[in-house]
Amino acid sequence: MIDHLENEYAKFWIEKDILYFVYKDGISIDQSVAIKVVEDRLLLQQGKAFLILCDMRGIKKINKSARNYLALEGSTLIKAVALLVNTPLSSTISGFYIKTSNPSITTQVFTEQEDALKFLNNYNPL
């Protein structure tokens, strides 16, 4: 069983039933990048749904088609997502993403990894 994966855009690993997804520094995400990272995440998951901690601190920019893809098709096999950001601007952008792209799964934005993990560990889908 694969327990970690890395491509040119992100690193993925599973630890204590949480899938960690860390974008590499300075990347720009368009729809082709979004499709690749979702494909690799699904490969790692091997058909099992996970809680996701998505570290977005390395993202330089993301276009609308990529945001829409991640909100819809990119939500496959996800129970809930904690988005980790590091600046007020990225927090605002992430909040805007949640409001405008309307992801189909519970998604919250955090600036501290400890808070994000607390949310995921306490998350109980209805």
Tell me the per-residue pLDDT of 58-89, one tens digit each, with 9 for 90 and over.
Answer: 998 889 899 889 888 888 999 999 999 987 66
Please tell me the total count of domains within the chain. 1
Which domain, by its residues, includes 51? 4-122
Q: 115: domain CATH number?
A: 3.30.750.24
Expressed in angstroms, the distance from the first to the final Cα of the chain is 29
- Specify the pTM: 0.87
Tell me the per-residue pLDDT of 5-64, one tens digit each, with 9 for 90 and over.
Answer: 999 999 999 999 999 999 999 999 999 999 999 999 999 999 999 999 999 999 988 898
What are the residues whose beta carbons fall under 8 Å from the beta carbon of 109, sequence distance 6 or more?
82, 83, 85, 91, 94, 95, 98
